[in-house]
Every structure is written in C-alpha cells, then in structure tokens.
Amino acid sequence: MKKTKLHTAVIILVIVMIILSFTNLLNLQINGEPLKLAGLSVIIGIIAYFTTCKTNESKNEGFNIKTFIGSLKNKTVIMLILLTLIVNVISFVTAKLCLPAYVEHILKRSGDLLDFANLPIMLLELVVFALGEEIAWRAFFQKQTSKIIPFVPSLILTSILFSLGHFNFGEPIIVFFDLLFVFLDSIIYGIIFKKTDNAWCSFSAHFLANLLSAVLYVL
C-alpha cells in the first residue's frame, strides 16, 4: 500500500513539474515584472528526489558522489562532456555570425547570474543552479519517467520541459535558436545520466557548459 501511495505521489509531482514548466509561455507578471513560476519545478524536483529515494533500488541511486570519479573514467562520458562544450562553442560562433542580438537575449535571460565582478558568488550560483537542475530533471524527473515510458521518449520529454524552463520572450528566431541549443545540451546531459546513473556526472557537463558560455558571452 505504501509503495502504491508513493508511486501516486511521484506521478503527481511529475505532472506538477510539467505544468509549471509551461507557465513560462504565459508571460505572467507582477507589477510589470515577469513571474518565473517555472523555476519552482526545479525546487519541487529536488524535494521530490530526496523524499522518494526509497523508490530506488539503493538510497543514492541517481546521485552518488562515491561513484562519481569512477564514472568519469568512462571514455564515452568524457567525450559526451566535451561534446557539450563543442555544442556551446558552435552556438556562440553561429550567434556571433548570424544573430548578434542573441547575446543580448542570453544576458537578459541570465539576469544577474553572469556577474564577473563578483566571481566567487557567480561560480557558486553556477554550481548551485546546475546541480539543482540535474537533481530535479535528471535524478528525479528523467529517472522516474523512464520507469513509466521508454528511455528515448523520457529523454525528449525531459529536454523539452528543461528547455521551456529557460524560455524568455524575444524575437521568434532568437528564442528558437536559444531553446534549440538548450534542448541539445539537455539531450547530452540526459544521455550522460543514463550511462552513469549519476547526476554528479551530468552536473559536471552542465556546469562546465554554463561556465564556458559565461566566458564566451560576457568576456
């Protein structure tokens, strides 16, 4: 009975994360300021992961620091992490050549996150946000949905919702370009997680990609 209730709770939390992700498209505002409810999906995902660990085969399944270094010895994982960096370089070069307004869009979407004037705080925020998103979207959402549907649909669904969480209004072509590369990044993070069953590994790719993007777009 307890397992049934927990399974139901997981499904409800997954649905809530899906709904919250789509709220970015509604342009909700308070006093003229955008209301980013989609960010709540990450908080819910983190809480959900740590409160539903008992549904996993082991307590640290999906988020085990002890197996982190060992997982990074996998050449395929290293290649996938490098691929995320290559994808971000391609995104930057393409934007510089074809969509110069894209840089402004990225800076607007990132807000105060990319503040090199306060480097320690910026690095801490990059770590916290990347790790939080990986726990929520990979260790919880992708892990749980892949128990219900096949891996590929789960990966695509997770990546679509992850992309929507980064949605910001702007010129359609620029918004599409932005979400396309967020989606591609998410696909790679999801594959890394699938191969390692460790959000620390997908976090490594996520953090390094964000850090590289910060350097490229700000410096």
Separation of alpha carbons 153 and 183, rounded Å: 14
pLDDT tens for residues 10-51?
899 999 999 999 998 887 777 767 777 888 999 999 999 998
| More confident site: 76 or 58 | 76
- Please report the pLDDT score of residue 65 as a whole number: 85
Give the model's confidence band at 161: pLDDT under 50 very low, under 70 low, under 90 confident, else very high.
Answer: very high
Which amino acid belongs to residue 45?
G
- Token pair of 52, please? 């539903």
Q: What are phi and psi of 33, to 5 degrees?
A: -100, 135
pLDDT at 158 over 90: yes
Are the CB atoms for 206 and 134 separated by under 8 Å? Answer: yes
Amino acid letter, 126: L
In the predicted model, is pLDDT for residue 3 greater than 90?
no
**Four-residue CA torsion sign, 99, 161, 166, 207:** negative
Confidence check: pLDDT of 58 > 90: no
Task: Work out how many domains the chain is built from and give that number.
Answer: 1
- Arithmetic mean of pLDDT, 145-169: 94
Q: What are phi and psi of 58, to 5 degrees?
A: -135, 155
Q: Look up the domain containing 24 and give its range.
A: 2-218
Residue range 62-89: mean pLDDT, rounded: 91
Three-class DSSP labels, 95-140: HHHHCCHHHHHHHHHHHHHCCHHHHHHHHHHHHHHHHHHHHHHHHH
Cα-based angle 76, 154, 138 (whole degrees, multiple of 5): 60
pLDDT tens digits, residue range 97-149?
A: 998 888 888 878 777 677 777 778 888 889 999 999 999 999 999 999 999 99
Query: Encoding tokens for residue 145?
Result: 């949905």
Which residues 6+ apart lie within 8 Å of 18 measured at CB? 161
Quote the pTM value: 0.91
